[in-house]
Amino acid sequence: MPNFDFLEFFNRCSNEELYNFLLEKNLIYQSVRCSFCFEEKVIKTTKDNYFGYNFRCMNTICNKYQTTTSIFKDSFFDKSKVHIKLFLRALFYISTGVCSSDIMQFTLLKKTFFKKIKSKIINKMEIFYQQNPVRLGGLNVTVNVDETKLTTM
């Protein structure tokens, strides 16, 4: 049975609590450098986006002074138009094996966005397994493979 504590947390937490959770789990970057002056940007509260936080260059001599960068830049959530809480709820349901149609009903996500989430997950898994290949067998270990169940599509 899935642990619904995460789901309850996503529903009741403030943006600050969610931000700290994402940092703790290494789902977003803790700091970002300005692409122009290479100084670290500072986390600032903002009303410009739905989450309320972004990175801002505070180097007064930089040509990009006070330009903002999303805290989700280059993360799994980059370029998502859906609120992060909804995105995380959908990920939770996917990871617990809930049927796709039920997930779309629970979260009110459109089918196209749901497909994008699933393809992002598959892409991340492919990258992980390319970097960490599964090795069968080993020293003095025999591996028997039954090829009768293998089919091509």
| DSSP assignments along 19-82, one per residue | HHHHHHTTSS-S--B-TTT-PBPEEEE-SSSSSSEEEE---TTSTTTT-EEETTTTSTTTT--S
Average pLDDT score over residue span 27-41: 88
Q: What is the pTM of this model?
A: 0.68
Partnered with residue 43 across adjacent β-strands are 55
The pLDDT assigned to 77 comes to 83
The pLDDT assigned to 149 comes to 66
SS3 141: strand
SS3 140: coil
pLDDT grade, residue 1 (50/70/90)?
very low
pLDDT grade, residue 105 (50/70/90)?
confident
